[in-house]
């Protein structure tokens, strides 16, 4: 009988004794990991607060969507909203802010490029402006084919040589008009088709128009070149 019990005991696996339980200790206030976590949270809060504060400093201001020239009427359809942060609080006084609205009879006194903010000094009331329509005749090869009513252009002038065998000097020449708007641009067939000249009617402030004609009259045989902006 004893032998049988021994045999049965030999066939059983040894009993595994589990390790003693260890109680997890809660990190105390002296634990450096706790302070690192607190510092990260504090930095995040301060950084977020500063970001929100800086965002609140921006002002919605009207900017020009595409190139516009002197004589163009300005409406909200021509503008885009840009958020700007001015270093000086009075800086926004030089522009039209979105909150105050836009007057309904604005006309550009000078050209303003695409993406620029709309300065108050660049516009006036359409009823009070002194814009004139100035006609010019340009050789068809010296005006881009894409120039049409509404285009913003620059006009340059150069003297044609007195010797007919000499070509027109290279280069653009002297600037005559800058950032003016084409009011009318008949096709070459409707104007001077036989002479190869194209007529353009430009909206030019009165003072600039006077200076243009003075410059034009100073040349014995002027040649005009038109460049299209945008």
198: CB partners within 8 A, 6+ apart = 137, 138, 139, 140, 143, 185, 186, 187, 188, 191, 192
In a domain, 19, yes or no: no
206 and 137: one domain? yes
82 and 154: one domain? no
Residue 16 CA to residue 171 CA, distance in Å, equals 99
164 and 224: one domain? yes
What is the pLDDT at residue 167? 60
121 and 151: one domain? no
137 and 218: one domain? yes
48-63 pLDDT, tens digit each: 656 655 556 789 999 9
Among candidate residues 125, 141, 160, the one where a domain is terminated: 125
State the pLDDT confidence band at 7, using cuts at 50, 70 and 90. very low
Verdict on whether the full-model pTM lies above 0.85: no
What is the pLDDT at residue 5? 44
Residue 159 CA to residue 9 CA, distance in Å, equals 123
In a domain, 206, yes or no: yes
94 and 147: one domain? no
Q: Is the pLDDT of residue 228 over 80?
A: yes
Which CATH number belongs to the domain containing residue 75 in this structure? Answer: 3.90.1210
217-226 pLDDT, tens digit each: 999 889 999 9
Mean pLDDT calculated for residue range 58-78: 91
Count of domains observed in the chain: 2
175 and 118: one domain? no
222 and 196: one domain? yes
103 and 143: one domain? no
Q: What percent of the chain has pLDDT over 90?
A: 37
Q: Is the pLDDT of residue 79 over 60?
A: yes
172-204 pLDDT, tens digit each: 789 999 999 998 998 766 655 556 889 999 999
79 and 150: one domain? no
Q: Which two tokens stand for residue 48?
A: 């977020």
193 and 139: one domain? yes
Give the domain extent around 163: 131-228
Among candidate residues 125, 147, 173, the one where a domain is terminated: 125
Element (DSSP H or E) covering residue 134 = strand 131-139
154 and 198: one domain? yes
């Amino acid at each position: 009988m004893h032998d049988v019990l021994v045999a049965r005991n030999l066939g059983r696996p040894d009993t595994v004794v589990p390790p003693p339980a260890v109680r997890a200790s809660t990190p105390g206030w002296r634990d450096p990991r706790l302070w690192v976590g607190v510092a990260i949270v504090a930095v995040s809060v301060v950084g977020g607060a500063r970001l929100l504060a800086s965002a609140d400093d921006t002002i919605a201001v009207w900017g020009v969507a595409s190139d516009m020239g002197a004589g163009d009427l300005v409406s909200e359809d021509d503008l885009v909203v840009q958020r700007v942060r001015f270093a000086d609080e009075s800086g926004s006084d030089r522009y039209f802010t979105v909150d105050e609205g836009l007057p309904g009879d604005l006309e550009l006194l000078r050209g303003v490029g695409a993406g620029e903010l709309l300065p108050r000094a660049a516009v006036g009331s359409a009823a009070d402006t002194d814009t004139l329509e100035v006609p010019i005749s340009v050789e068809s090869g010296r005006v881009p084919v894409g120039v049409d009513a509404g285009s913003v252009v620059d006009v340059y002038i150069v003297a044609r040589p007195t010797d007919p065998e000499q070509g027109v000097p290279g280069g653009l020449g002297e600037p005559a008009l800058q950032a003016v708007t084409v009011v009318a641009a008949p096709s070459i067939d409707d104007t001077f088709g036989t002479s190869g000249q194209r007529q353009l009617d430009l909206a030019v402030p009165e003072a600039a128009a006077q200076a243009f004609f003075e410059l034009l009259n100073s040349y014995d045989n002027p040649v005009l070149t038109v460049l299209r902006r945008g």
